């Protein structure tokens, strides 16, 4: 399973990202990540934005597996409670990325 994560937006416009591949992780870590991803409830691609928040953080999550390809974008107001543990895990592994024009 491969998971890509980008956190952007917010008041400061920060950008943080990570890419994790369970094949390159220790077996216990890979199993933990797969369990968290499976428990997240993310099962359908789409963009889910709040109509009211302009300075909210946005979370782009792409999950790829043998027969799976899901890409979602949530913001702070639309992130399902079931996906919070996955976002927390990915935030721990994300590193700041430079903002680019274009």
Give SS3 for 64.
strand
Instruction: Render pLDDT for 56-70 as a digit per residue (tens, 0 to 9).
Output: 899 999 999 988 899
Q: Are the CB atoms for 18 and 92 separated by under 8 Å?
A: no
- The C-alpha atoms of residue 36 and residue 31 are separated, in whole angstroms, by 9
pLDDT at residue number 101: 58
**pTM, whole model, 2 decimals?**
0.90
pLDDT at residue number 55: 79
Pick out the chain residues at pLDDT < 70: 10-13, 99-102
């Amino acid at each position: 399973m491969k998971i890509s994560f980008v956190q952007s937006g917010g008041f400061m416009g920060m950008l943080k990202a990570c890419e994790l591949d369970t094949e390159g992780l220790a077996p216990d870590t890979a199993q933990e990540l797969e369990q968290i991803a499976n428990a997240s409830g993310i099962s359908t691609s789409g963009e889910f934005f709040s109509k009211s928040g302009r300075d909210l953080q946005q979370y782009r999550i792409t999950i790829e597996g043998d027969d799976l390809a899901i890409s979602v974008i949530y913001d702070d107001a639309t992130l399902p409670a079931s996906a919070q543990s996955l976002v927390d895990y990915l935030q721990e592994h994300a590193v700041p990325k430079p903002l680019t024009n274009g």
